[in-house]
């Protein structure tokens, strides 16, 4: 069904654009991030004309892709991102890759020149079909219909692309739209009424549900592992005293996993499971991954809606094709029947002992202290977005109950833009972005964005470079480490914030940090950035001192 619209607004006269617009609305796409350009002007015009679609203008295409990803996370709904022809599409590749591995439903719309103009020395042209390769669920190129058969074909291609976006685990889909000149004729009074093809997904089969339930009930040392995608599944977790659950982003019990595994490093064998049910993506911690891989004799059941052998342990024995929430219900049913809680109690005692050590420690002025102060006493409805590398690892030392992080491919290029998109999608919710300096400056165009308001707050950890590389043993022998690998710099965010009307403060000591955190959490009509200026060597020492606690108290 086409969208209702203001009767004074006319649509483009491009038939493929109108078919696409009608089907986007029919498939429930209600939000679109739109980048500037002339070839995609008919698309931008139509998206803006639809009363049922809210548009978010973003100039930088790379930032726009991650903004759309964050918006989709906030809304738990598909989001379109629309770009013009040429290299504009290639700028969406990082966000497409992240969305692919996060199973985030993005609809990538790329305007294109007609096929006969490609590779003919025309401006803003390159082969756009399949330009994003395997990083999208499906890529289709729409015809410019000349008859009823081509109109039907165009309809089918759009339906297929939007179905692919939702199939199984879901993910991004790419619709390429060649548009011939003239481009700027808006003479169509109504969108066409298009056939929508609906996808009906299978539910968890009784046999698979029984397999999960019996496996949990019968195991002596069962363990449920929830990766970073499981942040929205916390309410489905089994009761706390029935099952050992390892999770970082859905950490309802707030277990300090990294610290716990350091503490028992020489006694892992006593804590290894005989059953692992693995759901929801990867872990940040390499130590957690190594621990799970050490469970050589465990039965390992992977759960995902695509039925893929995505197996970080390399030893899986079963794959259950199911939605995570359905599988968790079956796991919970099995956990409720368990009477042997010895294994869980062993882990619980470890968590309590290590957790007490962690909370008693007060770091010196450092990035670690800044993160700890930020995450203290956050309101329950607050959402946390973390940058990759140091930022997310520092957050994990505070055991946040939930957070978002771009761990699909672990890139640094879109952390700030994703947080900005999330903040735009939930304008009444405080959204805190914890980000390192390289990630912030690399993605600074996230702040060149007219969709931002005062609910976005950024804690920028500026220690003059990629300090995580100081922790890599052996790299200190290379003369290239500081300049080439760590990318040492002397940049600050003050000028960037000023030019984008972002409130900014800096802190370089304990008092400035305490006052700055209070300011960062206060009310404002504009986004705020607290830039904590530390030293990479000091940050390295603070982390080493912290982790040494758990080696000393075994």
Identify any residues that bridge with 241 across adjacent strands, giving them in sequence order: none
Q: Which helix (H) or strand (E) holds 319?
A: strand 318-321
Quick check: 42 pLDDT over 60? yes
Q: Across the chain, what does the average pLDDT equal?
A: 91
Contact (Cβ atoms closer than 8 angstroms) between residue 424 and residue 71? yes
Q: What percent of the chain has pLDDT over 90?
A: 73
Measured in whole angstroms, how far is the alpha carbon of residue 172 from the centre of its chain?
13
Backbone φ, ψ for residue 503 (5° rounding): -70, 140
For residues 346 and 336, what is the distance between their CA atoms, to the nearest angstrom? 18
Average pLDDT on 255-261 reads 93
Contact (Cβ atoms closer than 8 angstroms) between residue 377 and residue 402? no
3-state secondary structure of 225: strand
Residue 477 binned pLDDT confidence (cut-offs 50, 70, 90) = confident
Q: Which residue has the tokens 């497409």?
A: 96
Quick check: 429 pLDDT over 70? yes
Residue-level pLDDT at 203: 86
DSSP 201: P
Contact (Cβ atoms closer than 8 angstroms) between residue 302 and residue 319? yes
Residue-level pLDDT at 3: 47
Residue-level pLDDT at 1: 43
Residue-level pLDDT at 484: 76
The gap between the terminal CA atoms of the chain, to the nearest Å, is 64
Q: What is the torsional sign of CA 404, 406, 407, 412?
A: negative
Least confident of 264-273, 347-356, 476-485, 500-509: 476-485
Quick check: 232 pLDDT over 80? no
Residue-level pLDDT at 377: 83
Average pLDDT on 166-193 reads 94
3-state secondary structure of 139: strand
Least confident of 283-292, 349-358, 400-409, 470-479: 470-479
pLDDT in tens, 2-13: 445 456 789 999
pLDDT in tens, 72-81: 999 999 999 9
Q: Which helix (H) or strand (E) holds 519?
A: helix 510-521
Higher pLDDT, residue 243 or 1: 243
For residues 200 and 530, what is the distance between their CA atoms, to the nearest angstrom? 47
Quick check: 138 pLDDT over 80? yes
pLDDT in tens, 181-231: 999 999 999 999 999 999 888 888 999 999 999 999 999 999 999 887 765
Contact (Cβ atoms closer than 8 angstroms) between residue 42 and residue 82? no
- What region does 129 belong to: left with phi over 0, alpha with psi -120 to 50, or beta? beta
Residue 323 binned pLDDT confidence (cut-offs 50, 70, 90) = confident
Q: Which tokens sit at 526?
A: 């504009």
Inter-CA distances, 401 with 78, 404, 478, 547, Å: 25, 11, 39, 21
Quick check: 445 pLDDT over 50? yes
Residue-level pLDDT at 281: 80
* Residue closest to 250 by CA, chosen among 282, 273, 227: 227
Average pLDDT on 484-492 reads 84
Going edge to edge, which strands form the sheet with 299-304?
Answer: 244-247, 222-226, 275-279, 299-304, 318-321
For residues 224 and 216, what is the distance between their CA atoms, to the nearest angstrom? 9
Residue 293 binned pLDDT confidence (cut-offs 50, 70, 90) = very high
Quick check: 489 pLDDT over 90? no
Least confident of 6-10, 25-29, 282-286, 357-361: 6-10
Least confident of 25-29, 117-121, 467-471: 467-471
Average pLDDT on 99-122 reads 93
Strands 173-178 and 456-462: unpaired
pLDDT in tens, 350-386: 999 999 999 899 999 999 999 999 998 887 789 999 9
């Amino acid at each position: 069904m086409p969208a209702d619209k203001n009767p004074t607004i006319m649509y483009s006269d491009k038939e493929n654009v109108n078919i696409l617009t009608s089907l986007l609305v029919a498939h429930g796409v209600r939000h679109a991030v739109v980048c500037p350009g002339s070839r995609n002007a008919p698309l931008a015009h139509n998206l803006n004309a639809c009363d049922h679609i809210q548009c978010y203008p973003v100039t930088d295409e790379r930032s726009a892709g991650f903004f759309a990803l964050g918006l989709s996370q906030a809304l738990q709904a598909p989001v379109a991102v629309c770009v013009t022809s040429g290299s504009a599409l290639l700028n969406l590749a990082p966000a497409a890759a992240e969305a692919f591995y996060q199973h985030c439903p993005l609809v990538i719309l790329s305007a294109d020149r007609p096929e006969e103009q490609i590779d003919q020395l025309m401006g803003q042209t390159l082969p756009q079909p399949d330009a994003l390769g395997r990083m999208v669920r499906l890529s289709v190129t729409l015809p410019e219909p000349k008859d009823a058969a081509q109109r039907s074909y165009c309809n089918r291609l759009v339906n297929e692309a939007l179905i692919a976006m939702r199939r199984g685990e879901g993910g991004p889909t790419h619709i390429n739209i060649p548009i011939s000149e003239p481009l700027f004729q808006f003479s169509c009074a109504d969108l066409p009424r298009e056939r929508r093809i609906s996808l009906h997904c299978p539910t968890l089969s009784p046999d698979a549900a029984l397999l999960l339930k019996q496996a949990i009930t019968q195991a002596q040392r069962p363990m449920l592992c929830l990766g970073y995608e499981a942040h929205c599944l916390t309410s489905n977790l089994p009761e706390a005293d029935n099952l050992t659950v390892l999770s970082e982003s859905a950490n309802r019990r707030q277990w300090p996993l990294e610290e716990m595994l350091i503490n028992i490093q020489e006694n892992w064998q006593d804590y290894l499971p005989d059953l692992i049910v693995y759901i929801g993506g990867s872990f940040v911690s390499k130590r957690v991954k190594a621990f799970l891989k050490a469970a050589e004799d465990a039965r390992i059941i992977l759960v995902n809606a695509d039925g893929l052998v995505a197996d970080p342990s390399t030893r899986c024995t079963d794959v259950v094709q199911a939605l995570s929430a359905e599988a968790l219900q079956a796991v919970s049913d099995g956990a409720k029947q368990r009477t042997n809680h010895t294994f869980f109690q062993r882990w619980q005692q470890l968590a309590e002992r290590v957790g007490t050590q962690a909370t008693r420690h007060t770091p010196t002025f450092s990035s670690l202290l800044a993160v700890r102060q930020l995450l203290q006493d956050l309101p329950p409805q607050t959402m946390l977005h973390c940058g990759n590398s140091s930022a997310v690892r520092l957050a994990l030392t505070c055991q946040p109950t939930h957070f978002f992080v771009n761990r699909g491919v672990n890139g640094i290029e879109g952390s700030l833009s994703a947080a900005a998109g999330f903040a735009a999608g939930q304008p009444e919710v405080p959204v805190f972005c914890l980000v390192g300096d390289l990630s912030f400056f690399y993605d600074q165009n996230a702040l060149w964005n007219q969709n931002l308001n005062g609910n976005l707050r950024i804690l920028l950890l500026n220690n003059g470079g990629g300090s995580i590389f100081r922790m890599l043993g052996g790299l200190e022998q290379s003369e290239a480490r500081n300049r080439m690998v760590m990318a040492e710099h002397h940049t600050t965010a003050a000028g960037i914030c000023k030019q984008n009307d972002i409130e900014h403060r800096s802190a370089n000591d304990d008092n400035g940090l305490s006052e700055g955190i209070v300011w960062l959490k206060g009310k404002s009509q504009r986004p705020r950035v607290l830039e904590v200026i530390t030293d990479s060597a000091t940050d390295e020492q603070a982390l080493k001192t912290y982790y040494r606690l758990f080696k000393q108290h075994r």
